[in-house]
Amino acid sequence: MHQDITLPNVIDEAVEFVRDHFRLDRGLNIRQAHAHAAVSHFLGYNSKIALKSDTYFDPCDADLINYCKTGVEKLAEHIPRMKQTPLQDLNLDELHDVIRAGLAPACENCGHKCLSITPLGYQESEPDGWVCNSCVARYDAEYEHCRFCGDGYVYRASDINEHGECSAHDGESVLDDEETEDYESLAEYYLNHD
């Protein structure tokens, strides 16, 4: 695939994020080649060369995290076979989370990449944007959670109705006539059989 040089290379950004995160957080010096290999493995490739030779893979696609099959399987398979690297001492789930954050777009508010980045909306394959937990808290009037989806999903406040529901759960908290009658009957039963 033709690489657009005006767009940032998401893979390179993720590599730098991984290296910076573990250097600042743990004082670990992870070589660029090892970080590149780890990102490639996270994306399901056996090597950086395999990733770069995939003509259908666009390293400048900011949305690749939304549709690429990712996981720890290739990390678990390849990291132990690398030459000595601090990556071998890391928990693979933690490494997975750091690589995912590095591949995800930056927060739409603060412009930073961070571990708490989350897609907006329920459709993680087609999010409405990306925001970090700090900005969700800081700009709480702009973001909401659906009462049915829970705190695991963040929505734009404009996408949540007056009952606290996202579009997928619209109307679920409003009882129809039959449901209202059932609840009234149940309440009457408990009042009479207490």
The whole-number pLDDT of residue 5 equals: 54
Domain-wise residue ranges, the chain: 1-104, 107-194
Question: pLDDT-based confidence at 191, cuts 50/70/90?
Answer: confident
Residue of 87, 101, 80 whose CA lies nearest to 33: 87
Q: In the chain, where do the E strands start and end?
A: 118-119, 130-131, 143-144, 155-156
Question: pLDDT-based confidence at 194, cuts 50/70/90?
Answer: low
Q: Which residues pair with 118 in a beta bridge?
A: 131
Query: In this structure, what token pair is assigned to residue 54?
Result: 């995939």
> Does residue 42 have a pLDDT over 90?
yes
> Does residue 15 have a pLDDT over 70?
yes
Q: What is the mean pLDDT of residues 53-73?
A: 88
> pLDDT tens digits, residue range 18-29?
999 999 999 999
Q: Considering only residues 161 and 7, tell me which one the structure prediction assigns the higher pLDDT.
A: 161
Q: What is the mean pLDDT of residues 172-176?
A: 75
Q: Which residues pair with 143 in a beta bridge?
A: 156
Question: pLDDT-based confidence at 129, cuts 50/70/90?
Answer: very high
> Does residue 183 have a pLDDT over 80?
no
Helix (H, G, I), strand (E, B) or coil at 86: helix
> Does residue 166 have a pLDDT over 70?
yes
> Does residue 3 have a pLDDT over 60?
no
> Does residue 100 have a pLDDT over 90?
yes
**Whether the Cβ atoms of residue 15 and residue 51 lie closer than 8 Å to each other:** no
Amino acid (1-letter code) at residue 162: E
Question: pLDDT-based confidence at 16, cuts 50/70/90?
Answer: very high
Residue of 82, 129, 87 whose CA lies nearest to 104: 129
Would the pTM of this model clear 0.85, i.e. be above it?
Answer: no
